[in-house]
Chain A
Amino acid sequence: QTVVTQEPSLTVSPGGTVTLTCASSTGAVTSSYFPSWFQQKPGQAPRALIYNTRNRHSWTPARFSGSLLGDKAALTLSGVQPEDEADYYCLLDYGGAPLRVFGGGTKLTVL
């Protein structure tokens, strides 16, 4: 069974910088996994932030950036705002079976 692992929780101060990561049990995450990132606030549907490793959607603030960091996909938030407090999920495309797998999510607290 393929498992995608994220930090369960992270805390960051307002104005600070934090990096969330996304690892695959199958090995290194590369751009061929087309990593995507999603934000979900309580009671709301997820919202897409980043696709294909580093591309922002038109609605994604510039303080969100995606990258590959070592053997993981990463989401970096720079100049964190209080409204960035949310759950963040990565999604990897394995191309075959399983086709897509979400990470377990990271609960980001802004404190």
Chain B
Amino acid sequence: EVQLVQSGAEVKKPGATLKISCKISGHTFSDHYIHWVQQAPGKGLEWMGLLDPEDGETKYAEKFQGRLTMTADTSIDTAYMELSGLRSDDTAVYYCATDFVGASAAYWGQGTLVTVSS
């Protein structure tokens, strides 16, 4: 069974940098793209970007370009999402998700609540 387990909730100050982890088990980590998705309170899903863990290639949505960094440590099957220059409108639940056998975002993490407040 494929499982994605994310790190816990965080409270950050404006201007700080956030780093969330996503440990994946149950499939070959390097074989499938990993996505990160933002969901602000009461709002819809917003695709942030994807990482190819095999070669580290990333693709970011324009909205997050310049602030977003996605990485992976293949030795521990864990992906990371780093968002810098936090603002109050970055307050959201952040999800990681992984493709699987041709299906986009087939499996999801439980989400990480991030609150940005002074």
CB within 8 Å of B: which residues of A?
1, 34, 36, 38, 40, 45-48, 51-52, 55, 57, 87, 89, 91, 93, 97-105
Please name all residues of chain B whose beta carbon is closer than 8 Å to the beta carbon of A38 when the two chains form the complex.
45, 105
Among B44, B45, B103, B105, the one with the most A-chain Cβ atoms within 10 Å of its Cβ is B45
Please name all residues of chain B whose beta carbon is closer than 8 Å to the beta carbon of A100 when the two chains form the complex.
35, 47, 50, 104
Please measure, in the bound complex, the distance between the C-alpha atom of A70 and the C-alpha atom of B35, giving whole angstroms. Answer: 29
Inter-chain contact total with CB atoms closer than 8 Å: 66
**Per-residue contact bits, chain B 87-114, to A (CB 8 Å; 1 contact, 0 not):** 0000000010100001111111111000
Interface size class of B (residues with CB under 8 A): 20 to 34
CB within 8 Å of A: which residues of B?
35, 37, 44-47, 49-50, 59, 61-62, 95, 97, 102-111
Please name all residues of chain A whose beta carbon is closer than 8 Å to the beta carbon of B37 when the two chains form the complex.
46, 102
